[in-house]
A and B are shown apart, each in its own frame.
Chain A
């Protein structure tokens, strides 16, 4: 039986689809029985999904103008 602590170290390989079939079965069995690890997995996925939505800073207007100028030079 996989321990909770072991599961927290296997979670990335699990999400990456890189666990062996046997480990994947053990992982899913554990998650199926342990609500704390279900919460952990839920939180981990939410954290990853949140990272995917972190906005970046907008381009500074001066830089934008300079780059558009470069583009005009390039297309000539």
Chain B
């Protein structure tokens, strides 16, 4: 029996999602001592600290902003706006959430406002939207009438995330598949799996219910899994 239900192997810049058991406990994403140290340096006007912050986050924020607005240029503007918001809020930062979560929340709020203003509104209400009802996780034709695999999955035996991402084809397909997701699914997937934000925080940031978050995550992950599967199948 497969016992490793946790996906680990964090890199500090882009920590993986916690795929292990999620429990609805508060404070999972609260500020770390590193966060506190960084805030202190920023408040002291340490330019290298700010440079490190924007180097680490800018591209990631643009990627998240793309979920809410229609083009790259607007996404860039939203992110610049976000940095202004970060500087404005820095002196009042209370460390109740991780810096990462706090910055993402500022971005999402600004991006949503922007999206609404430009009639590119993504219905991020707490109500389930159209993209919650997706296709089946796996093409039904791959199962027999008994519901068992007729066309079983190929185990990606020799692959690791690193080797997969080194293959431009696979990486390109994965990025394209993320872009092709319906907006709500895309926002949840980017925050949960790409940025490693906890389920609680994602519900909080996007103002969606927990069950809805899980449905969106399931649809999005299934779509990505299918895309990667097709790509590796063709090789």
Contact residues of A with B, CB < 8 Å? 3-6, 8-9, 11-18, 28, 31-32, 34, 36-59, 63-64, 66-68, 70-72, 74-75
Q: Assuming A39-B153, A48-B17, A75-B45, is B63 touching A4 (CB within 8 A)? A: no
Q: Which residue of A lies closest to B13 (CB)?
A: A55
Within 8 A of A (CB), among B4-33: 4-5, 7, 9, 11, 14-17, 19-23
Instruction: Determine which of B83, B146, B165, B225 lies in contact with A43 in the assembled complex, contact meaning CB atoms within 8 Å.
Output: B225
Q: Assuming A39-B155, A48-B221, A63-B76, is B17 touching A4 (CB within 8 A)? A: no
Q: Which residues of chain B come closer than 8 Å to A40, judged between CB atoms?
A: 138, 153
Smallest Cβ distance from B36 to chain A, in angstroms? 19
Q: Which residues of chain A come closer than 8 Å to B23, judged between CB atoms?
A: 17
The number of inter-chain residue pairs (CB within 8 angstroms) is 178
**Cβ-defined contact, A51 with B224, below 8 A:** yes
Give the total of B residues in contact with A, Cβ under 8 Å.
70
Q: Which residue of A lies closest to B55 (CB)?
A: A59
Instruction: Determine which of A32, A38, A64 lies in contact with B55 in the assembled complex, contact meaning CB atoms within 8 Å.
Output: A64
Q: Assuming A3-B148, A12-B221, A57-B59, is B165 touching A50 (CB within 8 A)? A: yes
Kindly state the separation between the CA atoms of A28 and B2 in the bound complex, as whole angstroms: 8
Contact residues of B with A, CB < 8 Å? 1-2, 4-5, 7, 9, 11, 14-17, 19-23, 45, 47, 50-51, 54-55, 58-60, 62-63, 76, 80, 83-84, 87, 136-138, 140, 143, 146-149, 152-156, 159-162, 164-165, 171, 174-175, 178, 189, 193-194, 196, 199, 214, 217-218, 221-222, 224-225, 228-229
Q: Which residues of chain B come closer than 8 Å to A3, judged between CB atoms?
A: 143, 146-148
Q: Assuming A47-B225, A54-B194, is B80 touching A18 (CB within 8 A)? A: no
Kindly state the separation between the CA atoms of A20 and B206 in the bound complex, as whole angstroms: 26
**Cβ-defined contact, A50 with B161, below 8 A:** yes
Most B-side CB within 10 Å, residue of A18, A28, A51: A51
Smallest Cβ distance from A67 to chain B, in angstroms? 5
